[in-house]
Amino acid sequence: MKKTMLTRIISIALLAAVLFTCSLNVQSATLEEIEQKIKQTENQKNDINDKLGNIADRKKHAANNANAKEAELSELEKQKQNNLSEKELIIKDIEHTYDMILNMEETIRQTQEEYDKKRALFDERVKVMYQYSDYSIFQMLLESKNILDFINRVYMMATLLRNDYALMEEVDTLKKDLEHKKSMHEIACLDKEEVLAEKEKVLQMLDEDYKNIEMQYIQSRKELESLLVEEDKLLAKSKQLEEELKKLQEESKKIKYAGGKMLWPAEKGTYISSYFGNRLHPIHKVWRMHNGIDIPAPGGSNIRAANSGTVIRATWDSGYGWYIIIDHGGGISTLYAHARELVAKAGDKVERGQVIAKVGTTGTSTGNHLHFEVRVNGTPVNPLNYVVVP
């Protein structure tokens, strides 16, 4: 009887041991599966973050390019308006010049008529002078009735000669004046037409430049719009992955916390320069919630895992710089930021005290230090309630 009873107790103990072992195997397998999914999701999210970073750079470049082209268009528009105003003034000046030219043409016509009349009279006088070219003063004396008649004849001859010379000078002056007016007429026409042609050429060049830059501006705007659409898609995908990650982390909460007080994460730093809670940001100079503690330490010194767990994130952020997040189970995770170098990578299983990164000053930082956070179910809590302060 006692033997039977002992046999039953041994059988039950063996069965319980087998069941416990199976349970551990199932839990281990589930943890492995969750960690693998977390790693895959993190990799996908990091890939999307890299693409978003690339798009942000391209967006900035496209926006800067579009703004630059817009400024160029504005400047060209100003130049165009200025040149159009100058063109209008030139046209008005040309119209005024044409009015002057019309008046000048009338003056030239009148001068030409006067010149023609004087020239005809001069030609007639030349003929008369030629006819009497052999008429001498002696002959004039012989033909005179008396001395008084001779004096009158000489006086008349001298007067005629003076008049002829005066007519010659007047004809010569009229000729020079006529040539000068015609020259001014031609110069006025040519000068104004050349100025107008030059202004038209400048305006044509401005129009061509405007069209080219406008095309570049439109291209930059299209590129920017295309990048915005692509960014929206990636953000939507990132949000989806974030939700998946939260679900996976919720599942990981069911796994028991590694346990115990956390190890001080900075191997060569014990001083806390900024505590958990509201503080005046050292760079932005505004009051903000500080989600962790800052521990100054030499650049390149070791950052240690505060407890054992799985690295669920090891990447770059503009604020945190290079940072790592370790899931310790039970919804508890730790974050280590501003690292110079990451030693562990997403998916790695780390032990308490294992070196996971090196102290640096990457991201929004004023000097070498470790920014350390403890999060419960994703919410930052005071790390001093969890770590052993040296």
Range picked from 20-29, 116-125, 195-204 for highest mean pLDDT: 195-204
- In this structure, are 341 and 233 located in the same domain? no
Read off the pLDDT band of 191 (50, 70, 90): low
pLDDT, average across residues 6-10: 53
Residue 267 domain flag: no
- In this structure, are 35 and 182 located in the same domain? yes
Question: Given this model, what pLDDT does residue 24 score?
Answer: 37
Residue 271 domain flag: no
Q: Which of 264, 253, 276, 292 is nearest to 372 (CA)?
A: 292
As to burial, measured by CB atoms within 10 angstroms (0-12 exposed, 13-18 middle, 19+ buried), residue 164 is middle
- In this structure, are 199 and 86 located in the same domain? yes
Q: How far apart are CA 145 and CA 152, in angstroms?
A: 11
- In this structure, are 172 and 140 located in the same domain? yes
pLDDT, average across residues 305-330: 92
Contacts 24+ apart (CB under 8 A), 176-185: 177/111, 178/108, 178/111, 178/112, 178/115, 181/104, 181/107, 181/108, 181/111, 182/108, 184/104, 185/101, 185/104, 185/105, 185/108
- In this structure, are 308 and 159 located in the same domain? no
Question: Given this model, what pLDDT does residue 16 score?
Answer: 47
Q: Cβ neighbours of residue 63 under 8 Å, at least 6 residues apart?
A: 224
Indicate which CATH number applies to the domain containing 367: 2.70.70.10
Residue 261 domain flag: no
- In this structure, are 201 and 312 located in the same domain? no
- In this structure, are 64 and 210 located in the same domain? yes
Cβ contact 227:62 at 8 Å: yes
The percent of residues above 70 in pLDDT, for the chain, comes to 69
- In this structure, are 186 and 243 located in the same domain? yes
- In this structure, are 247 and 287 located in the same domain? no
CA trace torsion 143, 146, 150, 156 (10° rounding): -100
Q: How far apart are CA 97 and CA 91, in angstroms?
A: 9
Q: Cβ neighbours of residue 104 under 8 Å, at least 6 residues apart?
A: 181, 184, 185, 188
- pTM of the model as a whole: 0.42
Among 125-134, 200-209, 241-250, name the one with the lowest average pLDDT.
125-134
pLDDT, average across residues 370-376: 94
> DSSP alpha helices (H): ranges in the chain?
2-131, 137-143, 147-253
- In this structure, are 238 and 292 located in the same domain? no
Q: Tokens in use for 243?
A: 């939700």
Question: Given this model, what pLDDT does residue 23 score?
Answer: 40
Q: Could you list the residue range(s) of the whole structural domain that residue 315 is in?
A: 277-385
Residue 53 domain flag: yes
Question: Given this model, what pLDDT does residue 19 score?
Answer: 42
- Based on its alpha-carbon atoms, the radius of gyration of the chain, rounded to whole angstroms, reads 53
Mean pLDDT of the chain: 77
Residue 24 domain flag: no
Which of 255, 286, 316 is the endpoint of a domain? 255
pLDDT, average across residues 124-136: 61
DSSP-assigned states of every residue in 358-388: EEB--SS-SSSEEEEEEEETTEEE-GGGTB-
- In this structure, are 163 and 92 located in the same domain? yes
- In this structure, are 89 and 209 located in the same domain? yes
Question: Is residue 21 pLDDT above 50, yes or no?
Answer: no
Q: Tokens in use for 5?
A: 């009873």
The b/e string for 57-72 (b: 16+ C-beta within 10 A; e otherwise) is ebbeebeebbeebeeb
pLDDT, average across residues 204-233: 83
Higher pLDDT, 360 or 40: 360
Residue 262 domain flag: no
Residue 390 domain flag: no
Question: Given this model, what pLDDT does residue 20 score?
Answer: 40
Structural domain count, the chain: 2
Q: Cβ neighbours of residue 248 under 8 Å, at least 6 residues apart?
A: 34, 37, 38, 41
Q: Which residue has the tokens 């999210």?
A: 45
| 58-84 pLDDT, tens digit each | 877 888 878 887 888 788 778 878 877
In single-letter form, the type of residue at position 295 comes to I
Q: Cβ neighbours of residue 262 under 8 Å, at least 6 residues apart?
A: 306, 307, 334, 374, 383, 386, 387, 388
| 165-186 pLDDT, tens digit each | 676 777 678 677 767 777 776 6
Would you say the C-alpha torsion 182, 187, 190, 195 has a positive or negative sign? negative
Residue 105 domain flag: yes
